[in-house]
Amino acid sequence: MSKGKAVPKKSEVLQGTLDLMILKTLQALGPLHGFGIARRLEQLSEAVLHLNEGTVYTSLLRLQQERWIAAEWGASENNRKAKFYSITKSGLKQLAKEMADWERISGVIGRVLRLEGQR
């Protein structure tokens, strides 16, 4: 075991939150390709999250099947063919619903974590 700075542990994405994060990212930043979405979320997490591309693409496929995002082929920054994803009108409605759900649930979790020893 080495001494010095501890390397922060990469966290797994909580089940059900990746779709929410992808929808919000597309709503805020506009069309992005899958690799770009994954890297942007990792940057925003300040390297706490590590997203493998398979997980992100599984979520993108699910979001497409729900018609919450649409895909269109285009050229990436390095001029490679890439599929760009954008949020749809129904995706915006779903995003609003999921954000409200998240606020409610995270509020409950916050209250539980603030519990002090009460008998």
pLDDT band at 7 (very low <50, low <70, confident <90, very high): very low
**For the residues 81-104, what does the mean pLDDT come to?**
97
Which of 29-38, 44-53, 92-101 has the least mean pLDDT? 44-53
Rounded-to-integer distance, Cα 62 and Cα 94, Å: 13
Specify the residue for token string 């890297």. 39
Domain annotation for the chain: domains and CATH numbers: 17-113 (1.10.10.10)
> For the CA atoms of the chain, what is the radius of gyration?
17
Identify the H or E element spanning 27.
Answer: helix 17-29
Q: Which residues pair with 49 in a beta bridge?
A: 11
The mean of the pLDDT values for the chain is 88
